[in-house]
Amino acid sequence: MEPEACEIARLPEELLSAALSRTSPRDACRAAAVSPAFRDAADSDAVWACFLPRDLPPLADGEVLHPAAPQPPSKKDLFLRLSGSPLLLPDKLVSMWLDRETGAKCYMLSARDLTIIWGDTPQYWSWIPLPDSRFSECAQLLHVCWFDISGKIPCKMLTRDTVYAAYIVFKVNENSLGLDYPVQEASISVGATNLTRMVCLEHNDEDEAEGEAGAVPGHYWPVRPHPPQRTRRRNRRAVRHGENVGRPQKRADGWMELELGEFFNEGGEDGEVSFSLMETKGGNWKSGLIVQGIEIRRKKSG
């Protein structure tokens, strides 16, 4: 680059740092490639301290810095560590990380940190460890006809003036039943605002054209004193749902996620955000769901 084209690089590092601290983590990383002067400013603690939330929650021992590490990481290294993968909070029931684009705080509440109706009744739910889970155990649905999972998080734990979405993170085993019909109701409540949407934990794409909208699937079981004992799927028929029914998506980590809804954390101080997923009206037995937790993260635009 010609000297006259880089006059801005002659500014004192303090001014460059002040300007870059008003951008975003992504912009700061891009600026580091402009020139050595920009790199020094863009990598400085003064810039990255502005991208780190001032109210970071305490983390479990060893999550950020190994006890044998010779010195604390730089602010940039700390940001990259916090945004690189989820880290556990001290109770190890919640994990958190930073959104790499904005620095917004994101969380996942483990299944143990949620309210699961009948969750402590071995006849209906069991608790199992899985190697690809962030937490020590996940909730496995055995048989219920009253499906109700809910949770909440204080608004002050989240980043203010940020649009968030809540997602249930789960797996479905090969013997699952009753998760595709009837559809479930998801809700998000913040203050006096309560938003609901219809979602479906298990959506069957194959042979969908053969199903009729609203048809009762062959594996639908009405309420009975005890769930039927079945070891494999039979009479499986695809059920068509309306376009406004939320469907699960495959994640990069191998789990599935289903959006429960979104909300705007305006003040970020008082109150709490509540979210739930339930199906209690259909009267059919459900089984085969494995819940890791509910994730609350910044909703990306577009």
Q: What global pTM score does this model have?
A: 0.84
Q: What is the pLDDT of residue 134?
A: 96
Low-confidence ranges of the chain (pLDDT < 50): 1, 4-5, 206-226, 228-238
Q: What is the pLDDT of residue 9?
A: 63
Q: What is the pLDDT of residue 220?
A: 41
Q: What is the pLDDT of residue 11?
A: 74
Query: 3-state SS of 113-157?
Result: HCEECCCCCCCCEEEECCCCCCCCCEEEECCECCEEEEEEEEHHH
Long-range contacts: 8-14, Cβ < 8 Å, 24+? 9/34, 9/35, 9/37, 9/38, 10/37, 11/37, 13/37, 13/40, 13/41, 13/44, 14/46
Q: What is the pLDDT of residue 230?
A: 44
Q: What is the pLDDT of residue 241?
A: 55
- Give per-residue burial for 195-215: e unless 16+ CB within 10 Å, then b: eebebbbbbbeeeeeeeeeee
Q: How far apart are CA 266 and CA 250, in angstroms?
A: 30
